[in-house]
Every structure is written in C-alpha cells, then in structure tokens.
Amino acid sequence: MKVLKFGGTSVGSPDRMKKLLDIINPAERQIVVLSAVSGTTNNLADIGQAYLTGDKPKAAALIAHLKAKYETFIQELYTKPAYVELGREVITYHFELLSGLANDLFTPIEDKIILAQGELLSTTLYHVYLQEIGIPSVLLPALDFMKIDEDGEPVIDYMTEHITPLLMQHPNNKLFITQGYICRNSFGEIDNLRRGGSDYTASLIGAAIRSEEVQIWTDIDGMHNNDPRIVKGTKPISHLSFDEAAELAYFGAKILHPQSVFPAQKYKIPVRLLNTMDPTAAGTLISMQSEKGEIKSIAAKDNITAIKIYSSRMLLAYGFLRRVFEVFERYKTPIDMITTSEVAVSVTIDDTSYLGEITRELNAFGSVEVDVNQTIVCVVGDFGAETHGYAARVLEAVKHIPIRMISYGGSSYNISILIKTADKTEALRSLHSRLFE
C-alpha cells in the first residue's frame, strides 16, 4: 500500500483539489495525507497569537476573514447545492470552534487545537468532494493513531497498533484520506509535528504500515541541488540516499520536514518527491542507493547561534567535553555542529530557549562567547575517505566570505560551514556556480 502526501499548494484552491484525481488512482488501495490549504496554518497561528495576547477583537476579525475564504472555496469546490450545504456545515463547525475559544482560558493547549483546524478542514472538504462525485473513500482521523511521547518523539508502534484495525474495518475500500501534521501527545492532547509536519506524517504512516512507497507531492519537481528561492538555475536531483536526504532536510531544504526521512529510512521505504503541477516529471527518488563521488546539493539553515567555550583547563584534560555536553543535555538542547581546538570548543544550536541558563553554566568552565544570526551552509554528496578535493572546492568557492566554523569528516556525505546569515545568499550563489556550473 502506498502513502501519498499532498502539500498546501497542492490543495491550495478548489481547482487544485479537483486535479488531485489526475494523480490519485482511486482503484489502488492507498492512504492520502493532506496538508492544510496553503496559507491556512499561518492564518491559524495568527489567530492563536491574537488570543494569546488577549486581543479578542483581532482574533475575531482574523477568524471572519479566514471563514470568508472558505465560503468562496466551497462555492467553487462543489457543484450540487446539497454538497455546498454540507461544506457549509463543515466550515461552520470548525469556525464556531475557533470563535468559541474566546470564552476559554487560553493556553498552549488551545493554541494547538487552533493549529489543527487547517488539516481537519482540508481533509473533510476533500472527502465531501469525493462523495459528491461518487468516489468511495474513508476519512481516517489522524488524532486516533498519530502519537508523540513526552519528548515529542513519534511512537511508531502505537501508530501501527491503532491504524491497522482502522484499515481492516474497511477491507473493500481503496482510498483512505487523513490529516497531515496533527497528532496527540503523551497527555492525549491535540498536538502537532511542527511546521511542515505533513511530510513527517506521511513518512510515519509509511513506517507504521510498512508501506511499499511514500510519495511527497509538492509544487516543485523534486529536491533541487540548491535552494531555488535564492539561487537561479537550480536542478532537480534524480537520486538521493536516505542519509543525504536526511542531511539536506535537516539543514534547511524546505521541501522536506527536517525529521521526515528517518521513519522511512528505518524500514527502507523508498520516498519519492514529485510535482503536482507536472505529474510526469521524474522527481527525486530517496532510497538505499547513492551515486558515488558526487556533490549532490547545497542547503542552508538559518537562526543558528554559535557558542565558543574557551578554557585553558581543556588542555590535555579528559572529561572536559563530556561536562560541556552535559550542560546542553540538561536543557534538552540539541547541538548541530561542533569544532574543537586544544583550548576551545565551538558548538552551534538552533533552539535558544535556554541560552541564558546554558551560558551561565558554561561560564564555570571558562570564557563564553555567543554569536547570533548565524547560518549553517551544508554541502551534501559522497565524500568518503577515499575521495579528495571536495573540501578544497567548497572552501575555494567561499574564500571571500568570513567563516566561523568548518565541519568535515563527521559523516562521509556532509561538509558544513558556519557563516553570518548576512553572507548566506552570496555563499549559496558562489558555491552553486563553482560546484555545479
């Protein structure tokens, strides 16, 4: 059974929603994961923000504005008055829920309930559309099987246990629709897999049902060899290994949610990145295979903070790095890059929630320097120990840009450099022209 995920732009208008049937084959048993209509999750986040700041009139205005968009949407999506009416009932239900939150104490729990409405709306409206045109489908509630634990990590066994009986209840049904992004947390509350999380949903469902293939349908013809929003002339990559795709997703290639490769990789499920606007384009296949000795792609991750701990006590001492890392562990703050010298160690983090506490504790070891507004630029390819010359080519391309850190050799498929965010565009363009043109 395949899992097909369609992103926000792929369901972004009534016309686009209707066109999904050019891609979905209703005769094949499959699970279709839908994102919210593009823009909706941003709008919902704004509504949540208005409530959080106590600005109820602003929340009400934002809700009315979004509701009006959906009213137009259903007028164009459905043909028969009875179905327009059904669509209106769906909208009324979700928007009354949003307005009703004005009367409650507003906490992050309510905020997540708000964020969940986008995917609940898109899937229900699509399900009703399929009913109107007479295509049988079953709407699977993601909140009944998508689960994260107290650390925010997905619980795949739970998902398998809960989705399998749901699928078995409908042995003759082919098409299953479900929501991307949303899940329940360890308290059973409504939660989500973070922004862009529908890719992650698709990969997790793929893992949970041991799917034969996961397809991520989006608005571009696969993973490109650089960020197409910044660099002109980028090209799609036909093959990536799981490791290469995971590095690119983690280090900023927006086409994939940062965590979304791991579940598919664990069960060796091939992932295809495909273009809804051009369904016959080859796209990118992510699998066990990789092409040897090639530079594949460049990505960049912003909002990085670099921390340098300088200590003469590090000299010839053992246990120093462990004590440094323990500080980050205590504050559940992941480290991305690390470089060391005899008397200093530099690390980067992107979650700065506990930066104050962390630097205060690190001060006990020596002097601490913090640099904000940094970007990790990551070059991905096959840089095994037997290959040579790649690091030189990368550094040559950015020789006019100040570099804060360099990481090479941590894995055989990644060279990373840390630069100021202000230099990112130039770095990406220069690397592109030196490495690919």
Q: Alpha-carbon Rg of the chain, whole angstroms? A: 24
Kindly state the number of chain residues that form the binding site for Mg ion, as judged by CB under 5 A.
2
Helix ranges restricted to H, 192-319? 198-208, 242-250, 261-266
Interaction partner, residue 416 (ligand ADP, Mg ion, ligand ASP, none; CB < 5-8 Å by kind): none
Contact flag: residue 224 with ligand ADP (CB under 6 A) = yes
Nearest to 195 by CA among 112, 279, 121, 289: 112
Contact flag: residue 223 with ligand ADP (CB under 6 A) = yes
Interface characters, 156-185, with ligand ASP (x: CB under 6 A): ------------------------xx----
430 Cβ contact list (under 8 Å, min separation 6): 397, 398, 400, 401
What residues numbered 39-78 form the site for ligand ASP, per CB under 6 A? 41
Contact flag: residue 118 with Mg ion (CB under 5 A) = no
Question: Which of these segments, 4-12, 23-31, 184-192, 396-404, binds Mg ion (CB under 5 A)?
Answer: 4-12
Contact flag: residue 196 with Mg ion (CB under 5 A) = yes
Contact flag: residue 258 with Mg ion (CB under 5 A) = no
Q: For tokens 């940062």, what's the residue?
A: 258
Burial state string for 200-209 with b = 16 or more CB within 10 A and e = fewer than 16? bbbbbbbbbb
Contact flag: residue 295 with ligand ADP (CB under 6 A) = no
255 Cβ contact list (under 8 Å, min separation 6): 216, 218, 220, 222, 223, 224, 249, 273
Our CB check for ligand ADP shows the closer of 229 and 399 to be 229
89 Cβ contact list (under 8 Å, min separation 6): none
Nearest to 182 by CA among 101, 119, 139, 260: 119
Our CB check for ligand ASP shows the closer of 43 and 407 to be 43
Q: Tell the smallest beta-carbon distance from residue 199 to Mg ion (Å).
A: 6
Contact flag: residue 8 with ligand ASP (CB under 6 A) = yes
Contact flag: residue 12 with ligand ASP (CB under 6 A) = no
Q: Determine the angle formed by the axes of helices 156-168 and 198-208, rounding to 10 degrees.
A: 70
Helix ranges restricted to H, 241-378? 242-250, 261-266, 320-330, 355-362
Residue 118 is encoded by which pair of tokens? 């986008």
What residues numbered 104-133 form the site for ligand ADP, per CB under 6 A? none
Our CB check for ligand ASP shows the closer of 180 and 222 to be 180
For binding to ligand ADP (CB under 6 A), which residues are involved?
Answer: 7-10, 35, 196, 218-220, 223-224, 227-229, 253-255, 299
Binding site for ligand ASP (CB under 6 A): 7-8, 35-36, 41, 118, 180-181, 195-198
Can you give the binding site for Mg ion, defined by CB under 5 A? 7, 196
